[in-house]
Structure 1
Amino acid sequence: MKGPLEPVLRRVTSPAVVRHRAAARLLRGLAAVPVLPTPARVTLARRLRAGMSRAGWSPDESRAALAAVARSVDVDTRADLLMQEATGELKAGRTPGHLVAAVAAELAAADAAYAKGDRPGAARRLHRALRAQFHRVLHFDQLTSPLADDPAAFLAPLRDSAVGRVLLAPRGRSRPAAPPPTDRPLRLLVLTNGNDHFLREIRDRYAHHPDVEFRYLHLTEDPEADQLIRRPDALAADPVLGGSEYGRQVERWLRPHLDWADTLFVDWAVATAAMVTLVDPGDTRIVLRLHSFEAFSFWPHLIDFTRVDDVVFVSEHLRDFAAEVAPALVGPHAPRLHVLSNAMDLRAFPLPKEASARFTLGLVGISAVAKDPRWAVEVLRLLRAEDDRYRLLLVGDGLNRDAGEGVRQYADALDADLAELEPTGAVVRVGQVSDVPKALTGIGVILSTSVRESFHCAVVEGAASGAVPVVRDWPFFASRPHGAHSLFPADWVVRTPAEAAARILDVTADEERWRATGEAAAAHAIATWDWTVVRRGFDALFGVDTPPVG
C-alpha cells in the first residue's frame, strides 16, 4: 500500500519486530482493528504473515493474522485476501491450511454478487473457487487427497452455496432417449477429447460391426470444437448466467451430431461431456464413461447427469467414489450405472520368460506421483536385504518436474533413492517402450504400487504375460468396501512393503513355483479381462448382440 501509512507498516512488520512474539501478536490484533482503512489492514496482515513465516512461526500461527483480518472486512475483500494466499500456497506445492475457508469465502462473494444481479461477477468467482478447490496440488501432486479423505466435508462449501446449487441444479431433457432402431443399423457416435488409448478395441469392433453405422471424433481435431473445449470458465458460467453465447455456440456445433446419432458415447467425463450436457439431447441416447482422473477434478460438477442415460465405470470402487463426489449419480433421476472393464487385447502378452526374470520386479508407468514408485523402491530394499539378485525395472517416462512444485519435490526424493541403487544395477530405468509384451518377457513380478487406480491396465497386462502380480491395496480405497482388494484375487493384494516382499520371496523361492503362480495369474487375467470377454458387456450396452462378420 502506498501513502502516509507506508513507512509505519514497513517498520512494524520488520523482522526485528516480528521475531518478538508479543509484538507479533499485538500486530495481529491491530490488523483487525476496523479504525484502520481496509487496504491498510490487508497490507499489514500480508506483511505480518510473511514476516512471521520468515521468523520461524508455525503456519497455523502465521495464518492467524489473515484470519483476524478476514473476520473484519467486507465479503469481497475477505475472499480476495484468503484466495490470494491460498493460491500462493498451492503454487509453492503446499496444501493451504485455510483452503476450505478460502473456497467458502470465494463462494460467499459469488453468492453476494448473484443476489445483487451481478451474474458475470458471480460466475467469475465460482470458477476461481473451483480452480482452487480442485487444484492439482491437492489431488494429483501428492500421495493423499482431501477429497478422498472426506468427500462430503470437502465439497460442502460448493453444495451449500447458492451459486453452487445453481451450477448443480438438474435441467433434464425434453424427452427420453429413443429405443435402438430395428429397421436399420444403430448410428453410434464416439466423442472424446482425452487419451484415446482406451478406445482402440471399441473403435475397431463397432467400425466393422454389421449392425452399426459408426462415427468417431476427437474434438481436438475439429477446429471449432477444439476452441470450445478450452473454455471451462464458460462451461461453469453458462448455468449461472441463465444461458450464454458460449452455450449457443455449443448448441450450434453439437446439434447436427445429435440429430444424426442414435447413441452418443463420450469417453472421459471432462470438457466434451460437460459440453454435451449443456445441450438438451432430444431423443439421442447419451452414454458417458468416467475413468479415475475426472473424479478428482471439477468436471463432474459441470456435467448435468440428468441429461445422461448411462454412465460406465471401469471398477466398482470408482463407481462408489464417483457417486459420493457427484450425488446426481444416484436417486430417481440418475442415469443407469454400469461397471465394464477397460478394453484390452491380452492375447499378445503370454510370451516365454527367461529364468532370470524370476528376480526382476517391474513397475510399468511412473509418470505420476500417484504411481508412487518410491513404494516399489522400499519393497526392493527389503528383498535385497535377503537376496541381492532382486532388481527393479522402471518402465515408462519419468515424472514431469515442470508440472508443479509438488511433483518436483517427489521427483527429487525418488532421484535420491535411485542415485544409490542404479550404480549397482539394482534399479534400471527403461523409459518408454513401443513393444510392451516383449518388455514384459524380462519381468517376473509385476507391481502396482499406486495410491489410487481405477483399474490399472499395466498390472493386468503384466499378469497376462505370466508375471506374478503384487498389488498394493490402493490407500485411497483400502478402507472402502471396494478397491484393489475386491477387484483382484486376494493373494495378489498386499497392504505394506513388508507384505509385498514376503509374497515375492515366497512365490519366487524356486523356479517351478514362480512359473506356476505366473501361469495361474495369466489364466485368470485373460479369462476375466480380455476383450473377447469384456466386449459382450459393451454389445449389451449398445444393444448390438449380433456378432460381427469375420
Structure 2
Amino acid sequence: MPTPQLPDELLANVARRATARLARADRPFIAERILGVAGHRIRDPRLKADVLGEAAEAQLARGVTPRHLIPAYAAELACADLHLKAGRKKEAAAAFSKAVQLAFHRVPHVDRLVSPLSDDPARFTAPLRASTVARAVAAPRGRALPAAEPPKDRPLRLLLVTRGNANFLRLITERYADHPAVELRTLDLASDPDLSPLAKGLGRMVGLPLGAQAGYQAQVEAALRPHLDWADTIFVEWCTTAAAFVTLVDPGTTRIVVRLHKFETFTYWPHIMDFSRVDDVVFIAEHMRDMTTSAVPRLLKDKAPRLHFLHNALDLRHFSRPKQDDARFTVGLVGIGQIAKDPLWALEVIRLLRRQDPRYRLLMVGQGFSPETSPAAAAYHTSLERNLAELEASGAVRRVGPTKDVPGILTEVGVILSSSVREGCHVGLMEGAASGAVPVVRDWPFVAGRRHSARTLFPGDWIVTTPQQAAERILSVTASEEVRSAAGLAASEYALREWDWMNVQGTYDRLLLGDDGDINSPVDNALGKADLQ
C-alpha cells in the first residue's frame, strides 16, 4: 500500500528533530534512519538540501562522519544545477562550492582512521559526475595549440610553481638550477604580490568556467600570461590550489606538468580542474594513482593527461650512519603530525614487545598534531595523551619534537615502524630504512588488499597487518644484533637503490627534458590508461 506524501514542512520538522537527537545520542541509529527517510521524501530541493546539510554539519561538528554525507552534498549539487538551468550562474557557483566543501570536509577524510572516499572512491564522487554544474566546472576547455616539443637550440625554460609548500621540491630545484640544459625559475603563488590575491577563492575559480567571473578571468590571464609566455614547461607541485589556478587560462604552447602526492586526492581540487590543459600528471605512488583515477575517472578518458608514476625526490645517502650500541631495542616512529599516522597502533606494538622484553622502547620523532583542528582530532589526541602518560612514565616511550637532524636521531633506532592507515610513500619510513633500521610496515588499511598497496611499494617481508604480527617481526629481526644488523643493511641497500635521488633523478630528466625527443615515456615501463581500467 503506498505511503501518503506528507507536507515538506512536516517532514523538515521531523528531520530537524532527528538532527537534534543526533547531537545527544551515543547510539544514533534510529535518529539517522528517521533523518534519512524524512530527508529523502522532502520534495522541495532547497529545503531538502538545507535539512540534510544541517544534519551533516551537526555530525561533523561532533567529529563524526555523517551517515547521510553523500545525499547531503548531492542535494546541494541539485540546487546548483537548478540555479544554472535558470541562468543564475553566481548562485550556481555558490551552491556548488558549498556542496564540495561539505563533501570534502576534513573530518571524514583527514581526522579519522577511515574515509568514505577511500572505502569506495567511485561511489563517493558519483554525485559530481551526475551534476550538470560539476561537469560544466571541469569540462575540457582545451588549448588553442598543443604543447611544444622541448627546444633543441637553447636550454629548456622550466618554471617550478607551488603555493606555500615546497617541502619536496628542494632536490628538484637544486638539480635544474645547475643543469646546463635548463634555465630555471621558481614561483610561489603565496608570496607573489600580483598572483597571491588572485590564487585563492574557490567560488571565483568555480564561477569562471560557468561564465560568472569575466573580470576575474581577465585578471588571471593578465597575471599568468608573462609566466606562460616565458616557460617551455611548468611543473606545478601539489594538485591543489596552484594547479587549479594555472589551468584557468589557456597555457598556449607551454607544457603543464602537475605532481600529486596524497593529500590532494581527499580534496575537491582535482574535481574542479580542467585537465585538458594539463599534459602530464605525476603520482608518487601507484596506489594513489589508482585511488585518484577511481575518484576522478575522467583522468582515464581520451585526451586526458599522460599519467606517470615517479618516486618522490629524497636525499637518502646521508642517512646511512653507524648505529648506537643500544639501537637494537629502539623502535622508531618518524612523523606523527597527522591522525593518519595512527600512533596509538604503534603504542600497542610497544606494549606487546615489552611483555616479552622490557628493554624495547618507542622513540617518537616530530611535531604532534593539533587537537584544535576538529572534534575528531581532539578525541584522538585525548586518547593518545592518556596512553602516552602511562608509557612515558615507565620509560617505554620517549618523544622527540621536530628536529633538523633526523639522520642523527636515527642512529638510535634499530627498527623503523610505519603504523599509518594511509600514506603516499611514507618518507620517514624510507629514511629509516636508508639509515639501516629494519622496516616494519603496517599494511595501510586505506589501500590494503587492492591492486597496489604497501605490499607493492615495499618488499613483502616488511609488511604486517596487526600489532601482534608487528611485534613478532620485531622480535625475530632483533633476536641478536648480528641478525638486526644484517637485516638493516639489506634494507638500507634496497632503499638507496630504489628511492635515493641519485637513482631517481633520471626519471625526472626523462619526464621534463625528454629522452631522444620522447617525452611520452618518462619511466622505463610507461603507464598506459588501459592498464589502469
Asked if 2 retains the 8 angstrom alpha-carbon contact of 1:170 and 1:306, the reply is yes
Q: Aligned residue for 2:124?
A: 154
Post-superposition CA distance 1:70-109 (Å, at most 9, x none): 6235111111121122112112211111111111111111
CA distance in 2 between counterparts of 1:535 and 1:285 reads 20
Whether 1:443 and 2:413 are equivalent positions in the alignment is yes
Q: Aligned residue for 1:409?
A: 379
Q: How far has the Cα of 1:259 moved from its partner?
A: 0.2
Q: Aligned residue for 1:372?
A: 342
Unpaired runs of at least 5, structure 2: 517-533
Asked if 2 retains the 8 angstrom alpha-carbon contact of 1:190 and 1:266, the reply is yes
1:248-263 correspondence runs (5 A) = 248-263=218-233
Residue 493 (structure 1) aligned to one of 456, 463, 469: 463
CA gap 1:505/1:315 in 2 versus in 1, 3 angstroms: same
Q: TM-score, normalised by structure 2?
A: 0.93
Residue 166 (structure 1) aligned to one of 136, 143, 152: 136
Q: Aligned residue for 2:274?
A: 304
Asked if 2 retains the 8 angstrom alpha-carbon contact of 1:362 and 1:392, the reply is yes
1:31-430 correspondence runs (5 A) = 33-34=6-7, 38=9, 42-43=12-13, 45-47=15-17, 49-51=19-21, 54=24, 58-61=28-31, 64-65=34-35, 67-68=37-38, 71-241=41-211, 243-430=213-400
Asked if 1 retains the 8 angstrom alpha-carbon contact of 2:23 and 2:58, the reply is no
Q: Aligned residue for 2:522?
A: none
Alpha-carbon RMSD across the aligned residues, in angstroms, is: 2.0
Q: How far has the Cα of 1:163 moved from its partner?
A: 1.2
Rg comparison, structure with higher value: 1
CA distance in 1 between counterparts of 2:381 and 2:97 reads 30
Letter of the aligned partner of 2:227 in structure 1?
A: H
Q: TM-score, normalised by structure 1?
A: 0.90
CA distance in 1 between counterparts of 2:14 and 2:262 reads 43
Q: How far has the Cα of 1:222 moved from its partner?
A: 0.6
CA distance in 2 between counterparts of 1:519 and 1:55 reads 53
For residue 416 of structure 2, give the secondary structure of its aligned residue in structure 1: strand
Q: Aligned residue for 2:438?
A: 468
Q: How far has the Cα of 1:146 moved from its partner?
A: 0.4
Q: How far has the Cα of 1:244 moved from its partner?
A: 3.0
CA distance in 2 between counterparts of 1:530 and 1:70 reads 53
CA distance in 1 between counterparts of 2:250 and 2:203 reads 20
Letter of the aligned partner of 1:113 in structure 2?
A: H
For residue 83 of structure 2, give the secondary structure of its aligned residue in structure 1: helix
For residue 409 of structure 1, give the secondary structure of its aligned residue in structure 2: helix
Asked if 1 retains the 8 angstrom alpha-carbon contact of 2:12 and 2:51, the reply is yes
Q: How far has the Cα of 1:340 moved from its partner?
A: 1.0
Asked if 1 retains the 8 angstrom alpha-carbon contact of 2:23 and 2:59, the reply is no
Q: How far has the Cα of 1:354 moved from its partner?
A: 1.4
Post-superposition CA distance 1:46-68 (Å, at most 9, x none): 24642576477734335515742
CA gap 1:56/1:437 in 2 versus in 1, 3 angstroms: closer
For residue 475 of structure 2, give the secondary structure of its aligned residue in structure 1: helix
CA distance in 2 between counterparts of 1:193 and 1:504 reads 41
Q: How far has the Cα of 1:229 moved from its partner?
A: 2.4
Mean CA deviation greater in 239-248 or 216-225: 239-248
CA distance in 1 between counterparts of 2:352 and 2:39 reads 51
CA distance in 1 between counterparts of 2:111 and 2:235 reads 30
Unpaired runs of at least 5, structure 1: 1-28
CA gap 1:224/1:91 in 2 versus in 1, 3 angstroms: farther
CA distance in 2 between counterparts of 1:194 and 1:318 reads 23
CA distance in 1 between counterparts of 2:268 and 2:470 reads 35
For residue 326 of structure 2, give the secondary structure of its aligned residue in structure 1: helix
Asked if 2 retains the 8 angstrom alpha-carbon contact of 1:53 and 1:62, the reply is no
Asked if 2 retains the 8 angstrom alpha-carbon contact of 1:53 and 1:59, the reply is no
Asked if 1 retains the 8 angstrom alpha-carbon contact of 2:64 and 2:107, the reply is yes
CA distance in 2 between counterparts of 1:54 and 1:411 reads 22
Q: How far has the Cα of 1:245 moved from its partner?
A: 2.2
For residue 195 of structure 2, give the secondary structure of its aligned residue in structure 1: helix
Higher helix share: 1
Q: How many residues align?
A: 514
Mean CA deviation greater in 122-131 or 99-108: 99-108
For residue 355 of structure 1, give the secondary structure of its aligned residue in structure 2: coil
For residue 169 of structure 2, give the secondary structure of its aligned residue in structure 1: helix
